[in-house]
Structure 1
Amino acid sequence: MKLVVVSAGLGVPSSTRLLADRLAAATVAAAGAPPASAEVQVVEVRDLAVEIAHTFTNGFPGRKLSAAFESVAAADGLIVVTPVFSASYSGLFKSFFDALGVTDADALAGKPVLMGATGGTARHSLVLEHAMRPLFAYLKAVVVPTGVYAASEDWGAGGLDGRIERAAGELAALGAGLSTAAGPGVERGGKPGVTPGADADGIVPFEERLAALRPAG
């Protein structure tokens, strides 16, 4: 199991990184595998800010940013956490995924993703649904139902632990389910391989899909 965590916190330490670490630990525990068999890599977006900016001006990611993109593309599951600015995700968080799209538009296609966000007040909790979920749907990711928002007053409260465990369980189950469903016809990352009845692009004609639904005889 390879889990990549993208944290867009700006401070050291930051509540964003704290939430990211708790989500990662809970996901590893929910997967049921020995902790030693799980690979967890954290990408601190603030350390890549300059290379992200250069990607937009010259079209090529720098060495560190390119390595981060390769890790994201190869991950079995992704945890993304951002602080809330102006009732939405941070500009640096969005720029990271914009730059990823410049280099590989399908990097997140079929990728299981768990979303998290932090803010000073619970009034911004809908950022998960009105901003983050549409973003990752556009990037073709498979987002777990439960997002985790942590306001200042949530730290130390029992409700946050419950949301973290539920979201982590969904990510672990989704990752396992996609791996099982993929079978020999799908390559790692959810991209199509050789599928019976498919053309060279891996697309099964609609007529054949309808025929498979018709009752026999």
Structure 2
Amino acid sequence: MKLVVVSAGLSLPSSTRLLGDRLATATAAQAPADVRVIELRELAVEIAHTFTHGFPGRALAEAFEAVTAADGLIVVTPVFSASYSGLFKSFFDALGGTDADALTGKPVLIAATGGSARHSLVLDHALRPLFSHLGAVVVPTGVYAASEDWGAEGLDGRIERAAGELAALTAGASTVRPRPRKDTFEEVTPFEERLAALRPTG
């Protein structure tokens, strides 16, 4: 499978990139994968220009293509002001402006890094709603790593559990029904027919 890691880390070395790498390694160990890492730090100028020019530059367009073609996605952001970083949000805003259905039905593992454990709620209060809105299938376990988590018990277990969920979702991605486009209608089964199907026939 094609697995893409989107890392919004800014420093070198980056704990955000490290967490993304560990999640990718754990996922690939359970489902063989070709891993591609996209460092948003290297695309910051092109991301900004996308909003002023109306179209992505060559490197950013290639990153968008990789994300769209991926079978599974790992997204990792540092925490700023109790939320994802502006660079992280801008990348996915620009992607949505290019292809509104790029993440529809795509398995996504959300992760974040921060200086304090109290920011761990960013996973459920910011990241999960964002990717649910974009139509992605977000794995149940998100991974947050505070400074004190590195080398401590617990982080490895969360990484393995989340990676296993992503691998399982990716394997079954073909059975996930994509969200209908705005210009189409989803077939609706009348309630009476659904009720009749549940009644015993004998």
Same fold? TM cut 0.5: yes
> Where does residue 135 of structure 1 map in the other structure?
130
Q: Is contact 2:106-2:173 (8 Å) kept?
A: no
Q: Deviations over 1:97-132 (max 9, x none)?
A: 010011011100000000110001101010001011
Instruction: Classify the secondary structure of the residue corresponding to 1:41.
Output: strand
Q: Is contact 2:75-2:108 (8 Å) kept?
A: yes
Counterpart check, 1:28 vs 2:28: yes
Q: Residue 117 of structure 1: which of 98, 112, 115 is its match?
A: 112
Counterpart check, 1:59 vs 2:54: yes
Counterpart check, 1:214 vs 2:189: no
Instruction: Classify the secondary structure of the residue corresponding to 1:61.
Output: coil
> Where does residue 11 of structure 2 map in the other structure?
11
Q: Give the share of equivalent positions with the same residue, in percent.
A: 74
Q: Which amino acid aligns with 2:35?
A: V
Instruction: Classify the secondary structure of the residue corresponding to 2:154.
Output: helix
Counterpart check, 1:89 vs 2:89: no
Query: CA separation in 1, counterparts of 2:143 and 2:37?
Result: 18
Q: Which amino acid aligns with 2:8?
A: A
Q: Which amino acid aligns with 1:139?
A: L
Instruction: Classify the secondary structure of the residue corresponding to 2:79.
Output: strand
Q: Which amino acid aligns with 1:172?
A: A
Q: Is contact 2:135-2:179 (8 Å) kept?
A: no
List alignment gaps of at least 5 residues for structure 2: none
> Where does residue 41 of structure 1 map in the other structure?
36
CA shift for structure 1 position 85: 0.7
Query: CA separation in 2, counterparts of 1:143 and 1:173?
Result: 12
Q: Residue 187 of structure 2: which of 201, 204, 211 is its match?
A: 204
CA shift for structure 1 position 206: 3.8
Q: Which amino acid aligns with 1:204?
A: E
Structure 2 matches for 1:93-172, cutoff 5 A?
A: 93-172=88-167
Query: CA separation in 1, counterparts of 2:95 and 2:2?
Result: 19
Shift in alpha-carbon separation, 1:210–1:171, aligned structure 2, 3 A:
farther
| TM-score, structure 2 normalization | 0.91
CA RMSD of aligned residues (A): 1.9
CA shift for structure 1 position 210: 5.6
List alignment gaps of at least 5 residues for structure 1: 193-199
> Where does residue 197 of structure 1 map in the other structure?
none
| TM-score, structure 1 normalization | 0.85
> Where does residue 171 of structure 2 map in the other structure?
176
Alignment: residue pair count: 197
Q: Which amino acid aligns with 2:98?
A: T
Query: CA separation in 2, counterparts of 1:203 and 1:129?
Result: 28
